[in-house]
Amino acid sequence: ELKVEQNPLFLSMQEGKNYTIYCNYSTTSDRLYWYRQDPGKSLESLFVLLSNGAVKQEGRLMASLDTKARLSTLHITAAVHDLSATYFCAVPSGNTPLVFGKGTRLSVIA
Amino acid sequence: NAGVTQTPKFQVLKTGQSMTLQCAQDMNHNSMYWYRQDPGMGLRLIYYSASEGTTDKGEVPNGYNVSRLNKREFSLRLESAAPSQTSVYFCALTRGYINSYEQYFGPGTRLTVT
């Protein structure tokens, strides 16, 4: 059974600082997804990582995938308040739908 | 979430009541999903449908039934609601191609069972 673990689950960081969110998964997968959710809203796709070594960046967020280590990272550079949200990683297992991590609730404070 | 609509947006039920959550898409995709989201639990798959007329159980199907009568609509039914079914329910579909697909989520239905 595929398990997806994120850490930390809660993160409070100061504006301007850098930090990394980690996503580990337990079985082989060649792709991984990152989503963002604002309070009371739906999930919005951030990144789709499709192969080992894939790296994608948008603004202050950069995601990478190491399929051999079964690890993905979401790196935040020079955080700003607008990045406050909950971030989910998700992994497919064979032909099954996505299995989600529990999410990382990020709060960026001045 | 223009391509996926969910109704209702909010609902309060009493224990034992029944209701159907509706999901409709205008994106002409085959695969559709129902998830529930609870605090600290992430999203958990209830049921999914790979195509019209087919449905499969997900991680937490107990207490729910689904119906996929046509390509556009995928409904979730609670026959006898329980407080444990208080949650936010999201409908999703898969868009893209085999090697580059992603799941796209509807706006959600917030359900409270008292």
Predicted confidence (pLDDT) per residue in B13-49, tens digit: 999 999 999 999 988 888 999 999 998 788 999 999 9
Cβ-based contacts of B108 with chain A (< 8 Å) = 41-42
The shortest C-alpha distance from A55 to chain B (Å) reads 15
Q: How far apart are CA B72 and CA B106, in angstroms?
A: 13
Q: Under an 8 A CB cutoff, do A42 and B106 touch?
A: yes
Cα–Cα distance between B51 and B32 in angstroms, integer? 8
Partner-chain contact B48 A97, CB within 8 Å: yes
Is A46 part of the contact surface with chain B (CB cutoff 8 Å)? no
CB–CB of B108/B8 below 8 Å? no
Instruction: Output the pLDDT for position A41.
Output: 95
Contact A89, A72 (CB under 8 A): yes
d(CA B57, CA B7): 22
Q: Do B99 and A50 touch (CB under 8 A)?
A: yes
Taking the C-alpha atoms of residue B91 and residue B75, their distance in angstroms, rounded to an integer, is 9
Say what percent of chain A tops pLDDT 90: 82
Mean pLDDT confidence for A51-67: 93
| Percent with pLDDT over 70 in chain B | 94
